[in-house]
Amino acid sequence: MALSKVSKIVVGALTTGGVSGAGAYTYYELTKETIKDKLGDKLLDFGTTDNTKWKARADILAKDQSTTLSAGLAKIKQEKDTDGSKVKGWCEKNIKNKFVSEEDSLFQEIRKYCTYHIKDKVGVVVEETWSSSNSKNNDKLKKVNGDAETKLSATMKNIKAKLSASDTTKDDNALKTWCLATYEKPFEKEDTQEIEDVKEYCAVITQ
């Protein structure tokens, strides 16, 4: 990580023995990784490129029923954010905080509201309407048999079983529920089974 001018001064002082314990702590604080450093290109663009995605994040916040929202997000939700600009401003401010841990509540909120989601990065047009007459995605999964079925992920096997069941475990909405929930998960990386399942079974089928 490139050091700022201030950091270089502290480093110089440390190497010449001119810094006390307090100075060493200052150096640690200056060079400690921020949330922005940690997330890098997973963060939404703070210019105009991702305006529609910021609006989508504001829509998600408006529906958030969590009782543990931070004061900043709770205020934005109460005031209403019609274009996503308030959420974007909150994110731009809070990513400057030091990274504490993956489990830190602030980090978790930033992952949810300030980064790309799977839907944004999956590379296909995903099905979002899921009308009662649209059974193409369900049918595609239900028709997987033989060797191909053995290669299904555990998640897809479970969903297929629910779609195909003839007893009380039958759930025609199993795939829909999984896809819609997975779309909004923070994007981690391309080569995951979850991403492959979304591409294969949640994409819009036009024929």
Q: Sign of torsion, CA 81 76 121 204?
A: negative
Q: Considering the chain, what percentage of its residues have pLDDT values greater than 70?
A: 84
Work out the number of other CB atoms within 10 angstroms of the CB of residue 152. 18
The answer to whether the predicted template modeling score (pTM) of the entire model surpasses 0.75 is yes
d(CA 154, CA 159) in angstroms, rounded, equals 9
106-154 per-position pLDDT tens digit: 999 999 999 999 999 998 889 888 876 558 999 999 999 999 999 999 9
19, pLDDT greater than 70: no
Please provide the DSSP assignment of 75-86 as one string. HHHHH--SSSHH
Q: Report the amino acid identity of residue 203.
A: A
15, pLDDT greater than 80: no
